[in-house]
A and B are shown apart, each in its own frame.
Chain A
Amino acid sequence: MFRQVDIQFEDFAIDEVLGTLKANTSAAGGFCFFAGVVRDMNDDEEIKSLYLEHYPEMTEKQLHRILDQAEARFGLLGAIVIHRIGSLAARDNIVLVAVAAAHRGEAFSACEMIMDYLKTQATFWKKEVTPEGDRWVAARGSDLSKEAAWGDSSA
């Protein structure tokens, strides 16, 4: 499987990612993309900006473990995960999960599974800057339920 994991301060361009995936997965006919963007409101408070911290020695390894599982389960032909770190403004891009498979079914499912695992297993933390001050974002119980719905996870 073709794969690329990037943790970066810079923005990303979805058309470039599609081009890279297509160029490296000649047998793929289905591509699925998920993009996560900074919201301008959360819990009824205005979000001015977001700070993203991560565990540099671990994050990339953990994302590769997640891709290992998606590859084994769905026979993916390619996957690119890009996650930004540092200071981001409202409406900035945060994360992109792009997958390539022979057909759409595997692509939709793999993209969703990678994203669900990323939310609960990848070592990133968000801090929101609001007019009321800074606050660390709390993990959501619903994210654990979505992860669990995929069954056994050994990442």
Chain B
Amino acid sequence: MKVLFFASLRETMACSELAWTSDQPDNVASLMTQILLPDGQSLASYAETESLLIAVNQQMVDGDTALNPGDEVAFFPPVTGG
């Protein structure tokens, strides 16, 4: 799987892209407990206080969404274009 971060989350992660080679998580929520920020907290814990949107294969989803090898998973703050 490929994991992407954008905007303020990309800066917080100090990383724009991860190649996920650890155990394949069942769903997005499970992946979020395994992704760690530079300060050591999990993305799941970060998302308790910061608004995050999730896309799997370029489609907006929620945390219950199942994941498969080869998926592209993206995390980002609420969008502010226009």
Contacts and interface: CB of A to CB of B under 8 A. Distances in A.
B82 A124 contact: yes
B81 A52 contact: yes
A57 B56 CA distance: 11
| Range for the number of chain B residues in contact with chain A | 10 to 19
Contacts of A137: 80
A57 B58 contact: yes
B16 to A, nearest CB: 10
A127 to B, nearest CB: 7
B50 to A, nearest CB: 11
Given A123-B76, A125-B76, A55 B6 contact: yes
Q: How extensive is the interface on chain A, given as a class?
A: 20 to 34
Contacts of B55: 55, 58, 123
Given A62-B58, A139-B51, A121 B72 contact: no
A7 B6 CA distance: 17
Contacts of A55: 4, 6, 55, 58, 74, 76
Interface of A: 36, 52-55, 57-58, 61-62, 83, 94-95, 115, 118-127, 136-139, 155
A-B CB proximity, top 4 nearest: A124-B81, A139-B78, A125-B7, A58-B58
